[in-house]
Amino acid sequence: MAPSTVLTPARFRGASRAGGGRPNLATPVEVEVIMRKSFLTIALLLCWSWAIPLGAQQPCLGYSIVINTPEDQTILAVNGAENPQEQIDALDKFTQAHADSKFMPCAHEYYTIAYLKMNNYDKVIEHGEQALTANHQDVLLMLNVIKAYVGGGKVSDTAIDVVLKAPEQINTEANPPRPMDVNEENWQKNLQELGQSAKELRAYMAYAFFQLLPRVPDASKRLVLLDKFALAFPDAATEHAKAINYQRFLAYKLAGDMTKVVESGEKVVAEDPGNVEVLNLLAYIYANQRTDPDKASGYAQKALDLATGMKKPEGVTDAQFASTQKLQQGMAHLTLGYIDFVKVEKTRKVGPALQELKTAVDLLDENPQLQAQALFYVGNAYEFMSPANHTAAIEALSRAAGLQSSWQTQASDLLAKVKRAARK
């Protein structure tokens, strides 16, 4: 029996766009089929709950499928499946038998829905990118791909590109043509619901951007992407100005541009005085450059107070929180100890510096770079004592020289000098 030309409901709304011309008009038979499977609004598509049933979603907008074809039978099998694995099995059967079908990009989108329910992020990304490569694009597909990247802790140029293109696609799908059988009152209500869903989707994509950006290893690329984000998400860029300035700060830090770090860091502190990380780094820079020791001391003490009073955020493990808190406390003590150490040459008071620096050593056991620096100055401080405590200095400098850090050479050189002095 020849296939009917009736469009399946899952594709009915997108038929006019798929044809590129006049819309396809439904016959009475078509209306019956459509009513049987339900006429769903795009609001269901825009809903981004992880647990929405596959049958309640509307993938592949713009595709029209003929009833009784393998494509239609596959859709029915997937929608009727009792679990994600059965959906995948149905899709596997279709793709193995019809690899050259024009429906393949849509099949890949269905794969992303099923695999996302199983938290198989690699498979979501694999199939999502195949659909995108075939120039298939709709909000549901884009959303699934980005959820997989965020959840899987990964990033790629494709993922960033999807996020930046999302606002335009969301706007397109949130403003569909009015169906002929929907009255004005219901249509306006639908548009309001679509507008709210679109707002929530844009918010999620903006959130995703700030999750993905720190995974980009190239600092200059991060800065370019921040500019692109501001153009693609003008409202979010205004709302999240603090987050954007903070990400600029991190990018400049990654690039090692200390001038820009200080400039952007001061902007962050002005907007967010409680940002422990930025306060700590600015204090560290001011102290080591000896440009403003008073400001360095003030920032470091404030960072220490804030770090000591930190509350564990939701979703962070006790171990992660303890590690972060120790790092921030240790860095503040390191800066304060270094400031006291610089004063030793004039005051000859080694005690305050040693107390701060030794505290830093204990707290920075997970950061070899900073711990080695603290140990190096502990060794120095012992040598400034009168008389010098060579034994304690050798112990501290030996530990510093044994750590993989940029302080190894300095620590080794000073260690050799102290050992010679101890033999005299």
Q: Are residues 26 and 160 in the same domain?
A: yes
Whether 281 is covered by a domain: the verdict is: yes
Is pLDDT above 70 for 50? no
Which pLDDT band, with edges at 50, 70 and 90, does 66 fall under? confident
Which pLDDT band, with edges at 50, 70 and 90, does 14 fall under? very low
> What confidence score (pLDDT) does residue 58 get?
60
Q: Please state, for a pLDDT cut of 90, what percent of the chain lies above it.
A: 67
> What confidence score (pLDDT) does residue 372 get?
97
Distance in Å from the first CA to the final CA of the chain:
105
> What confidence score (pLDDT) does residue 182 get?
84
Residue that finishes a domain, picked among 170, 185, 213: 213
Determine the Cα–Cα distance for residues 276 and 249; give it in Å rounded to an integer.
Answer: 13
Determine the Cα–Cα distance for residues 67 and 312; give it in Å rounded to an integer.
Answer: 55
> What confidence score (pLDDT) does residue 29 get?
31
> What confidence score (pLDDT) does residue 227 get?
96
For the chain, what is the domain count? 4
Q: Are residues 16 and 43 in the same domain?
A: yes
Which tokens in the block code for residue 330?
A: 């240790």
> What CATH code is carried by the domain that includes residue 209?
1.25.40.10
Using alpha carbons only, how large is the chain's radius of gyration in Å? Answer: 30
Whether 4 is covered by a domain: the verdict is: no
More confident residue, 146 or 180: 146
| Half-sphere exposure (Cβ direction) of 51: Cα atoms closer than 13 Å | 0
Which tokens in the block code for residue 114?
A: 């099923």
More confident residue, 190 or 148: 148
Q: Are residues 328 and 317 in the same domain?
A: yes
Residue that finishes a domain, picked among 225, 244, 271: 271
Determine the Cα–Cα distance for residues 58 and 179; give it in Å rounded to an integer.
Answer: 16
pLDDT (tens digit, 9 = 90+) per residue, 355-381? 999 999 999 999 999 999 999 999 999
β-partners of residue 7 are: 66
pLDDT (tens digit, 9 = 90+) per residue, 28-42? 333 223 222 222 333
> What confidence score (pLDDT) does residue 315 get?
84
Determine the Cα–Cα distance for residues 304 and 280; give it in Å rounded to an integer.
Answer: 8
Average pLDDT, the chain: 85
Whether 1 is covered by a domain: the verdict is: no
Which tokens in the block code for residue 248?
A: 């600029």
Q: Are residues 242 and 162 in the same domain?
A: no
Q: Are residues 32 and 144 in the same domain?
A: yes
Whether 41 is covered by a domain: the verdict is: yes
> What confidence score (pLDDT) does residue 286 get?
94
Q: Are residues 347 and 377 in the same domain?
A: no
Per-residue pLDDT, averaged over 182-195, amounts to: 87
Q: Are residues 256 and 330 in the same domain?
A: no
Contact between residue 33 and residue 8 where contact means Cβ atoms under 8 Å apart: yes
Residue 409: partners with Cβ closer than 8 Å, 6 or more residues away: none
Per-residue pLDDT, averaged over 50-68, amounts to: 59
More confident residue, 25 or 105: 105
Q: Are residues 89 and 148 in the same domain?
A: yes
Is pLDDT above 50 for 56? no
Contact between residue 342 and residue 293 where contact means Cβ atoms under 8 Å apart: yes
Q: Are residues 29 and 113 in the same domain?
A: yes
Which pLDDT band, with edges at 50, 70 and 90, does 276 fall under? very high
Residue 131: partners with Cβ closer than 8 Å, 6 or more residues away: 105, 106, 108, 109, 112, 141
For residue 235, what is the enclosing H or E element?
helix 234-239
> What confidence score (pLDDT) does residue 6 get?
33
Is pLDDT above 50 for 422? yes
> What confidence score (pLDDT) does residue 178 get?
85
Which stretch of 115-124, 306-315, 328-337, 402-411 has the lowest confidence by average pLDDT?
306-315
Determine the Cα–Cα distance for residues 262 and 69; give it in Å rounded to an integer.
Answer: 64
Exposure of 368 by Cβ count < 10 A (0-12 exposed, 13-18 middle, 19+ buried)?
Answer: middle
Domain, as residue range, for 236: 216-271
What size, in residues, is the chain? 424
β-partners of residue 66 are: 7
- CA nearest 401: which of 389, 392, 413? 413
Per-residue pLDDT, averaged over 94-122, amounts to: 94
Residue that finishes a domain, picked among 195, 213, 231: 213
Whether 93 is covered by a domain: the verdict is: yes
Q: Are residues 197 and 223 in the same domain?
A: no
Determine the Cα–Cα distance for residues 264 and 239; give it in Å rounded to an integer.
Answer: 18
Instruction: Give the long-range contacts of residues 224-233, CB within 8 A, separation 24 or more.
Output: 225/160, 225/164, 226/251, 228/164, 229/164, 232/163, 232/164, 232/165, 232/166, 232/167, 232/168, 233/167, 233/202, 233/205, 233/206, 233/209
Per-residue pLDDT, averaged over 326-351, amounts to: 92
Contact between residue 135 and residue 161 where contact means Cβ atoms under 8 Å apart: no
Q: Are residues 189 and 46 in the same domain?
A: yes
More confident residue, 24 or 303: 303
Amino acid 207 reads Y
Whether 3 is covered by a domain: the verdict is: no
Q: Are residues 339 and 398 in the same domain?
A: no
Is pLDDT above 80 for 222? yes
Contact between residue 109 and residue 131 where contact means Cβ atoms under 8 Å apart: yes
